[in-house]
Structure 1
Amino acid sequence: MNLLVQAASSDDGSFHGPSINEFFPPTLFTIGGLEFNRIFFIRLFATLVLLLVFWFGTRRMKLIPGRFQSVVEMGLDFVRVNIAEDLLGKKDGRRWLPLLTTIFFMALFFNLTGIIPFLNIAGTSVIGVPLVLAVSAYFAFIYAGIKNSPKNFFRNALFPPGVPWFLYILVTPIEFISTFILRPITLTLRLLMNMVVGHLLLVLFFTATSFFIFTAGSWWSLFGAVTFAFGFAFTLFEILVALLQAYVFALLTAVYIQLAVAEEH
């Protein structure tokens, strides 16, 4: 709470909202030129929790599962049924299931750190993780297309069948930019910006609460109650956003792979 009060007010008693500096915390220490900061350890924490959840959930599989195993199996089945097999069919769905499962749960757990007390920032709110996930999806798309049709993948992607030849002067550059450049960029920015905006809004609500209650005082505390209510409601909304963004990222990855293995390629 002291941190919130410090963030909300300055020595002159004025209110200061969140800034972009939230996403660039100071370096704690450096090893071999690699900087370690608070967000790095948040990502490490999310990774360890993710590994522990699946280790405990799958280490002693039973025919009649307990509650924890059931929850893990429900999560895995959700990705398998609603993302992998629904878009790619059973054969290709099972082939790409490990990648899609990894992307979904990695994005989900890293997103959820934004609403966990004492962490308070999503591991996906700095470009590194969204970029890694987007590049993984991009190379999966390229690999699937080349493996399915080594000779025709790039030709059909850049020169769509059925288009008059003279229109390729316009169509081919557009297809190249939209397919091979904009896809990884939009995947990265969609996840990144949702987490950035969500974090800034949560910080704004709760620092305003601290300011009204602990700095402004008096009847201003009523405004603090209002901003706290908005902050609590938006925290619940952020849980939904974290789930939706993980789902959309994995879904779009499956869509791109499906396009790459389509018959016309």
Structure 2
Amino acid sequence: MGAQMLLAEGGEFTPPGVKDFFLPPIFAGVTKPMILVVLSVIIIAAFFLIATRRMKLVPGRVQFAAEFIYDVARNSIARDQIGSKDFKRFVPLIFTIFTFMLVNNIYGLIPIVQFPTMSHIGYAFAIAILIVYPVFNYAGIRRHGLGRYVKNQVMPSGPPWPIYFLLTPVEVFVKFIMNPINLAIRIFAAMFAGHLIIMVFSIASEYLLIEAGGPLKPVALISFAFAIAMTFLEALVMVLQAYIFALLTANYIGMALADEH
């Protein structure tokens, strides 16, 4: 009751929620996330075309940034997780996934845009289940054959044979069902939660500044400071989640190609 008396008569605070992530169509059923996904492809292609148009021995800032991103995807992710023998043919996939996730995550920090595409779980599921899942299973089947590949995935060497009655169903569930689902949920949850927290602090600061009574107005500054702090933290999370998504993709491919687990 006391807190209500400190609020002006202007209105009641309505916190943001899931509904705020479902944006209305802009035209003909096309939504903002759809446009951002297409735009991300254009941005990535344009950036690397410009960066590599005139390659120099001593790179400028744009060329250096492009080479650094490529080196992370090629060496720190693909080669480390897949192995020096097999990684090269998967570099384009890992590089594409890493840059695509990175750009679509960073959208959440860009003024006006301010919407990380991966906060819609459908996009994360599409990449994890329609691209990553078929690729690593196909790679494993092509290397080992269907029977040996399945055996390698669900029957690790070492345990006594009676343990396989318990272990095999768990391995099937984890390797063929939960791994791609976890891959999608991990990046979706991070982008959704981080963006929601920033929205809460930002809207709360505006509400307190405009609607609250005098004693509560200074709290708006605290809320705004938290929004800024969370934005910097979310920027780090955005980069890390793109890296982790690509890292796990390469890890799944590496496990599929390995002889035994």
Question: TM-score scaled by structure 2?
Answer: 0.90
Among 119, 123, 131, the alignment partner of 1:125 is: 119
Q: Which residue of 2 aligns with 1:139?
A: 134
Q: Which residue of 2 aligns with 1:116?
A: 110
Q: Are the counterparts in 1 of residues 10 and 211 from structure 2 also a CA contact under 8 Å?
A: no
Measure the CA separation in 1 of the matches of 2:70 and 2:56: 16
Measure the CA separation in 1 of the matches of 2:217 and 2:239: 33
Measure the CA separation in 2 of the matches of 1:125 and 1:104: 16
Deviation at 1:180, TM superposition (A): 0.1
Among 97, 101, 107, the alignment partner of 2:95 is: 101
Q: Deviations over 1:133-174 (max 9, x none)?
A: 212222221012112111410122223333333332222211
Measure the CA separation in 2 of the matches of 1:128 and 1:176: 24
Give unpaired runs (5+ residues) of structure 1: 1-8
Deviation at 1:217, TM superposition (A): 5.6
Q: Which residue of 2 aligns with 1:174?
A: 170
Measure the CA separation in 2 of the matches of 1:244 and 1:215: 37
Measure the CA separation in 2 of the matches of 1:160 and 1:183: 17
Measure the CA separation in 2 of the matches of 1:86 and 1:161: 23
Q: Are the counterparts in 1 of residues 156 and 260 from structure 2 also a CA contact under 8 Å?
A: no
Q: Tell me if 1:238 matches 2:237.
A: no
Q: Are the counterparts in 2 of residues 46 and 113 from structure 1 also a CA contact under 8 Å?
A: no
Measure the CA separation in 1 of the matches of 2:241 and 2:137: 23
Q: Are the counterparts in 1 of residues 118 and 187 from structure 2 also a CA contact under 8 Å?
A: yes
Aligned residue identity for 1:78: V
Counterpart mapping for 1:66-85 below 5 A:
66-85=60-79
Aligned residue identity for 2:12: S
Q: Which residue of 1 aligns with 2:153?
A: 157
Counterpart mapping for 1:199-214 below 5 A:
199-214=195-210
Deviation at 1:121, TM superposition (A): 1.4
When residues 158 and 45 of structure 1 are mapped into structure 2, their CA distance, relative to the original with a 3 A threshold, is: same
Q: Are the counterparts in 1 of residues 83 and 254 from structure 2 also a CA contact under 8 Å?
A: no
Q: Which residue of 1 aligns with 2:4?
A: none
Deviation at 1:258, TM superposition (A): 1.1
Q: Are the counterparts in 2 of residues 27 and 36 from structure 1 also a CA contact under 8 Å?
A: yes
Deviation at 1:207, TM superposition (A): 0.3
Q: Deviations over 1:233-258 (max 9, x none)?
A: 11000110001101111111111111
Deviation at 1:83, TM superposition (A): 0.8
RMSD: 1.9
Give unpaired runs (5+ residues) of structure 2: 1-6
SS at match of 1:25: coil
Question: TM-score scaled by structure 1?
Answer: 0.89
Deviation at 1:39, TM superposition (A): 2.0
User: Identity of aligned pairs, percent?
Assistant: 38
Q: Which residue of 2 aligns with 1:190?
A: 186
Deviation at 1:64, TM superposition (A): 2.7
